[in-house]
């Protein structure tokens, strides 16, 4: 007779206990939320509790594009060499190491993705001395929404690394690489020269590598080693015939223009069908200026020139300032031009990357890639 009441009492007791447990659980959640909100409110205004930086859509698009270019063109095993030299202001020509007999090192690289798709590693050997190894982490997204060094990519295989503002870094380092059947990279370093902090060109580093053949990509690739024939890929001095370079390229016509406004990270791509007369005229002026400056690069013009205009030993056509400086009230810009001739089975194309810095603020303004055929 008592069983139904006992059963009912147990049920009511269970419901009561369940209610108290639920109430206490909700109370703890409210308390924790309030505590977290209080902590958030107590944070200094320049500190966020979020561990991930916030990017605009334009920034995300650019980070995704350069990561795509790196995966497509840079990942893999590469072998070649690098050389370092200074530039002579009086002659606009490279000054190589006095000891020309000093052997170049076999600079080797293995760039690959990690298990996490948005990260990777960049391992290099024989950079400073034979046998050294340096591992650099790669990330699709930078750890800061405003990194001091910007990475910009252009298909099929151009990667630019450049300071967002050259006045806000102790030394301004610009790195540009064209990756294809051969890797051609130039690194420029500018350092403060005097009390006025004139950023003068310190030195130039060139890299030239070729991808390791497919039959050597497995167990046969050893980073910490030397392959003598791979060192020969980069000549000690430029061997390109300048007259041939000018003849090949002077009649080229623009087929695409990509312009990135670096402060807003906004990219505008104009293909051949949409090029206006002003676009064609501007692209023609860029190419004409590049070839004209290269052809006039002689000792007579060197002293009056504010830039080095050279065909680099790794085959890149380059025009870059002797120094990054100017009066604070100046509205002038400093311009870099790096061009590369791509060889395809259907012919040759030329890409010329033009980079503009504002002298007064030190900000990088635009990076514009002109493609010609």
Q: What is the pLDDT along the chain (373 residues), one digit of tens a residue?
A: 323 333 333 344 343 444 444 444 443 433 444 444 444 444 344 333 456 789 999 999 999 999 999 999 999 999 999 999 999 888 888 888 766 556 789 999 999 999 878 999 999 999 988 889 999 999 999 988 888 899 999 999 999 999 999 989 989 999 999 999 999 999 999 998 776 667 899 999 999 999 997 766 556 788 988 999 999 999 877 766 788 899 999 999 999 999 999 999 999 999 999 999 999 999 999 999 999 999 887 655 666 688 999 999 999 999 999 998 755 545 588 999 999 999 877 788 999 999 999 988 999 999 999 999 9
Residues 6-36: b if buried by 16+ CB within 10 A, e if exposed:
eeeeeeeeeeeeeeeeeeeeeeeeeeeeeee
**First and final C-alpha spacing in the chain:** 100
- H or E stretch at 301: helix 299-302
> pLDDT at position 96, please?
81
Residue whose token pair is 């948005």: 118
How many other CB atoms are there within 10 angstroms of residue 292's CB atom? 13
Query: Half-sphere exposure of 226 toward its Cβ, with a 13 Å CA cutoff?
Result: 14
Say if pTM beats, i.e. exceeds, 0.95. no
Spatial neighbors of 47 by CB under 8 A, at least 6 apart, are none
How many CB atoms sit inside 10 A of residue 285's CB? 10
Q: How far is CA 12 from CA 1, 73, 351, in A?
A: 18, 70, 80
Q: Is residue 172 a contact partner of residue 163, using CB atoms and an 8 Å limit?
A: yes
- Cα dihedral 43, 46, 51, 52 sign: positive
Please calculate the CA angle 346-74-218 and round it to the nearest 5 degrees.
100
């Amino acid at each position: 007779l008592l069983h139904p009441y006992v059963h009912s009492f147990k049920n009511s007791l269970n419901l009561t206990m369940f209610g108290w447990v639920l109430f206490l659980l909700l109370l703890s959640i409210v308390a924790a939320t309030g505590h977290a909100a209080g902590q958030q409110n107590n944070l200094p205004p320049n500190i966020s509790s979020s561990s991930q930086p916030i990017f605009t859509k334009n920034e995300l698009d650019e980070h995704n594009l350069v990561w795509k270019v790196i995966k497509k063109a840079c990942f893999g095993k590469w072998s070649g060499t690098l050389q370092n030299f200074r530039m002579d202001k009086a002659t606009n020509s490279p000054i190589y190491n006095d000891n020309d007999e000093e052997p170049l090192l076999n600079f080797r690289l293995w760039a690959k993705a990690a298990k996490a798709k948005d990260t990777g590693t960049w391992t290099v050997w024989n950079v400073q001395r034979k046998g050294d190894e340096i591992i650099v982490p790669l990330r699709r997204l930078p750890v800061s929404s405003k990194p001091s060094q910007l990475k910009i990519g252009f298909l099929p295989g151009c990667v630019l690394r450049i300071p967002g503002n050259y006045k806000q870094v102790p030394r301004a380092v610009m790195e540009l690489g064209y990756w294809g059947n051969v890797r051609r990279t130039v690194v420029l370093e500018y350092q403060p020269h005097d009390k006025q902090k004139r950023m003068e060109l310190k030195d130039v580093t060139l890299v030239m590598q070729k991808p390791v053949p497919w039959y050597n990509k497995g167990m046969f690739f050893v980073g910490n080693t030397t392959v003598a024939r791979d060192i020969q890929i980069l000549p000690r001095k430029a061997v390109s015939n300048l007259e041939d370079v000018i003849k090949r390229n002077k009649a080229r016509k623009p087929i695409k223009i990509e312009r990135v406004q670096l402060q807003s990270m906004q990219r505008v791509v104009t293909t051949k069908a949409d090029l206006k007369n002003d676009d064609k005229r501007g692209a023609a002026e860029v190419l004409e200026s590049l070839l004209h400056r290269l052809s006039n690069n002689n000792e007579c013009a060197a002293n009056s020139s504010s830039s080095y205009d050279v065909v680099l030993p790794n085959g890149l056509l380059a025009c870059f300032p002797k120094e990054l400086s100017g009066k604070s009230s100046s509205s002038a810009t400093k311009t870099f031009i790096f061009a590369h001739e791509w060889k395809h089975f259907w012919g040759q194309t030329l890409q010329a990357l033009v980079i503009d810095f504002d002298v007064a603020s030190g900000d990088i303004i635009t990076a514009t890639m002109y493609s010609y055929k």
